[in-house]
Structure 1
Amino acid sequence: MRADVTLAISVVLPAKDEAENLPFLLQEIEDALIDRAFEVIVVDDGSTDGTAAAVLEIARRHPWARLISHAASCGQSAAVRTGLLAARGEIVVTIDGDGQNDPRYIPALLDALAAGGPGVAIAAGERLGRKASFGKRIASRAANRLRRAMLDDRSRDTGCGLKAIRREVFLKLPYFDGWHRFLPALVLREGFGIRQVDVVDRPRRHGTSKYGIFDRAMVAGVDLLGVWWLRSRLRRRPVATERMPHGAAGASHLTERSHP
């Protein structure tokens, strides 16, 4: 695919040791987006199991598939950011590489984002019937309650990897390890609206989770306080208007740029 092709959608898929899951997952993404202009960017986060080779084999047959590899594992947030910076689409869809996020919900996310208009910047999946261990479910419920109380981010579940975000807004969000778990709150901080779409979680076909309870829990409290601080430090959001002198080229009207 040429670099100058205008795309509607970039799917960013962070993956660590997911060689067995990726072939069927990438096929499902293609099936879900078959009528749209799209690319899929797989960010191989330091895999050692042949993940890169599996993606390259698919890319030989499908020009929409791209591979970016981290020399060493940097974590899920870093992989999402790498994919975002490389994305060519106006909308960035994030999805986990383990196959638990079902790509058939991607069109619903895109439709929800479009229905919200330019004032809505993210449509986020919220999981029903989550397929996870008892310990993960309990930890997730407690974290969600605390997050909602502190951030008022209007979200039942921000841990779902399925999200559709306007790239121009995504690029404005402050980056830190763990940011992918706070995207609704960060989008609200920028003055944009959010939408939620119920999705059904499904079990893995192969392998085990590479990003577990403790890699989240060890830093979750610090991240939560950091996002709370960021939101509390936002002052008045300016509504900026560019004015041009009468008679200047293109001065027949005022151009206004404002946050919703």
Structure 2
Amino acid sequence: MYEFTIIVPVYNEEDNLERVEKELLAFTKIATKKTAILFVNDGSKDRSQELIAQICQRNEMFHFINFSENRGLSAAIKAGFDHTETELVGYIDSDLQTAPEDFNLLLQHIGAYDLVTGVRANRKDSFVKNMSSTIANGIRRAFTHDGMDDTGCPLKVIKTEYAKRIPMFKGLHRFLPAMILLQNGKIIQIPVQHFPRIAGTAKFGVWNRLIGPLMDCFAYLWMKKKYINYEIKDKG
């Protein structure tokens, strides 16, 4: 039935989930691809899972995966990739600082590209958050040479065959474009809307927005050196 799956990682977002349901349900009615929603509850300690279960019971296009314990954003995204059966997969954060309707902007380009990522125009975050993200993106770009200005943007569309081949490790969600390039895939970034967080609490601070990505860059370099990529010429 579906052509596109949106992964929604969730960790202690009970105050946002009703709005997530409303906005994603509205998007499914205007989406250019028939869309399913997959919540990945990353071991939330609040009422998130209870609300997710209610949302999925009300809406046939909503489904969920519930982790037994908190494993981090990269693990949640990987689980979403592993359980996606549609040709295309994307993800959006449950804080809804990006707009679901902007998926249609990304979907316009996915035919010619293997990953289309948003780049947050006119970001509505604090000065410290914006500056730390800018520095982190500069460091990552120097290591990966992927040409992307905002890999932390939580709005992406990927061809599922490429997403499933990404050897995820903790922190690798910041390197998705670079990992598509390792597969000789094509990537592009498209400006999308950005909004301030209106509920819940941010999960990333200065430490894991700066020091963490720097350490992950060295992990990426190791991965790039060891990455196995082959192309079958023919079979007999």
Residue type of the partner of 2:36? E
What stretches of structure 1 of length at least 5 have no aligned partner? 1-5, 245-260
Partner of 1:9: 4
Which residue does 2:18 correspond to in 1? 23
Q: CA deviation at 1:41?
A: 0.8
Q: Give a deviation string over 1:12-67, Cα, whole Å, max 9, x none.
A: 01011111212222221222232532211111111122111111221122111112
What SS class does the counterpart of residue 114 from structure 2 fall into? Answer: strand
Q: 1:67 to 1:233 in 2, by over 3 A?
A: closer
What is the aligned-residue identity percentage? 30
The match for 1:109 among 106, 109, 134 is: 106
- Structure scoring higher RCO (CA < 8 A, sep ≥ 6) equals 2
Q: 2:86 aligns with which of 86, 89, 92?
A: 89
Larger fraction in strand: 1
Give 1:239 deviation, angstroms: 4.4
The aligned counterpart of 1:127 is 120
The Cα shift of 1:243 comes to 4.8
CA distance in 2, matches of 1:84, 1:97: 17
On the 8 A contact 2:140/2:213 being kept in 1, the answer is no
Kept after mapping to 2: 8 A contact 1:91/1:166: yes
Q: Is the 8 A contact 1:20 1:206 kept in 2?
A: yes
C-alpha distance in structure 1 between counterparts of 2:93 and 2:183, whole Å:
25
Partners in 1 of 2:230 and 2:178 — Cα distance?
19
Query: Structure 2 stretches of 5 or more lacking a match?
Result: none
Could you say if the C-alpha distance between residues 238 and 59 of structure 1 is closer, same or farther in structure 2, counting changes exceeding 3 Å?
A: closer
Q: Distance in 2 between matches of 1:197 and 1:136?
A: 21
Q: Does structure 2 conserve the Cα–Cα contact (< 8 Å) formed by 1:22 and 1:54?
A: yes
* TM-score (normalizing by structure 2): 0.92
Larger radius of gyration: 1
Paired residue for 1:227?
220
- One of 153, 174, 189 as aligned partner of 2:182: 189
The structure 1 segments of at least 4 consecutive aligned residues displaced by more than 6 Å after TM superposition are: none
| CA distance in structure 1 between the partners assigned to 2:36 and 2:94 by the alignment | 15
CA-CA distance at 1:155 after TM superposition = 0.5
